[in-house]
């Protein structure tokens, strides 16, 4: 933990209060993946667990946080090794989807090499946590009830527990309550079959076949038939709706990210949504 904290100081330069909150409330050794060279940590990431509203149900997701490599250890494949190891760990925990928020714009092209696709747009204004706390006389529980009522039933949205909310309020208060906006984020499908089964259950009227390719997770290389709410293996193409998607495209399809603009690719199968990721520790 001490080595990871020192790495963060070097890589992120965040203020002491942020570090104090994160390592008190979020850091756990069992959710930390680290790459060692001899006895020194040179790269690390955290797997934080949240629920995500998807197809009218809440599924567990693994949020990758604090991914960093020491400056002198970059471009040696350490983060690639950590991400691939993370995918195996996430799959072992039966978590079907991973999300992350790139710290800088250039990182979008880095992460898309590992199957992450942009599925969340930045910029939507959110409620003021400062005003929310004032309305409820700084009663965290009462404020959380209102907060949760706004987001709990929103499709394709990362949900927050009371503890998540408490931590975000503490962090935001430490910076004088700047107005928050939704974040630009990415999604990576870990379990194609499970994600499609949930989709099929929500949309039993949908009938199509799909070939999925994934260069990193071989279990996602599937040829499936979706019909009457069920998913089954097949080798027969649907007469009308047959889709061929890589794992990157599948994430955008399942989350409904700008699907209406890719009619030829998605063939009208996947409804469009406005996925939301917000009020994370930034």
Average pLDDT over residues 258-282: 92
pLDDT for 79 = 97
Mean pLDDT (the chain, rounded)? 94
Instruction: Give the strand pairing for 40-54 and 57-69.
Output: antiparallel
pLDDT over threshold 80, residue 172: yes
pLDDT value of residue 282: 59
Residue 78 Cα distances to 32, 81, 82, 210, angstroms: 14, 5, 6, 33
d(CA 101, CA 65) in angstroms, rounded, equals 8
pLDDT in tens, 184-201: 999 999 999 999 999 999
Q: What percent of the chain has pLDDT over 90?
A: 82
> How far apart are the C-alpha atoms of 276 and 158, rounded to whole Å?
7
Q: Which of 30-39, 134-143, 171-180 has the lowest mean pLDDT?
A: 171-180
Residue 206: pLDDT over 80: yes
**Domain 2-120 fold:** Aminopeptidase (3.40.630)
Listed residue (88, 118, 86, 113) closest to 218, CA to CA: 88
Taking the domains of the chain in order of start, what are their residue ranges? 2-120, 192-262
Q: What is the pLDDT of residues 10-20, one digit of tens each?
A: 988 866 678 88
Q: Calculate mean pLDDT across residues 259-264.
A: 92
User: Encoding tokens for residue 77?
Assistant: 């494949």
Half-sphere CA count of 100, side-chain side, radius 13 A: 26
Render pLDDT for 22-34 as a digit per residue (tens, 0 to 9): 889 988 999 999 9
| pTM (predicted TM-score) | 0.94
How is residue 210 written in tokens? 């799909």
> Is the pLDDT reported for residue 174 higher than 80?
yes
Would you tell me which CATH number, out of the four given (3.40.1360.10, 3.30.1050.10, 3.40.50.1820, 3.90.1570.10), belongs to the domain 192-262?
A: 3.30.1050.10
């Amino acid at each position: 933990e001490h080595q990871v904290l020192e790495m963060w100081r070097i890589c992120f330069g965040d203020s002491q209060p942020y570090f104090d909150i994160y390592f008190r409330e979020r850091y756990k050794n069992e959710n930390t993946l680290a790459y060692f060279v001899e006895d020194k940590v040179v790269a690390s990431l955290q797997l934080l667990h949240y629920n995500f509203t998807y197809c009218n149900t809440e599924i567990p997701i693994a949020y990758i946080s604090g991914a960093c490599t020491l400056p002198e250890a970059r471009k040696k494949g350490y983060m690639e090794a950590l991400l691939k190891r993370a995918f195996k760990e996430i799959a072992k925990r039966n978590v079907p989807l991973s999300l992350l928020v790139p710290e800088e714009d250039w990182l979008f092209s880095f992460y898309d090499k590992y199957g992450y696709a942009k599925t969340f747009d930045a910029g939507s204004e959110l409620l003021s946590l400062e005003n929310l706390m004032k309305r409820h006389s700084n009663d965290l529980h009462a404020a959380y009830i209102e907060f949760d009522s706004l987001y709990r039933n929103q499709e394709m949205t990362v949900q927050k527990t009371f503890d998540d909310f408490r931590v975000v309020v503490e962090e935001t208060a430490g910076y004088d309550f700047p107005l928050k906006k939704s974040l630009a984020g990415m999604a990576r499908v870990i379990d194609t079959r499970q994600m499609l089964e949930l989709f099929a259950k929500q949309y039993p009227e949908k009938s199509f076949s799909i070939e999925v390719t994934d260069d990193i997770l071989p279990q996602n290389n599937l040829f499936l038939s979706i019909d009457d709410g069920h998913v089954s293996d097949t080798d027969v193409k649907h007469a009308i709706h047959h889709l061929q998607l890589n794992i990157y495209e599948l994430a955008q399809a399942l989350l409904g990210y700008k699907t209406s603009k890719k009619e030829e690719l998605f063939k009208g199968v996947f409804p469009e949504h406005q996925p939301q990721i917000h009020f994370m520790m930034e």
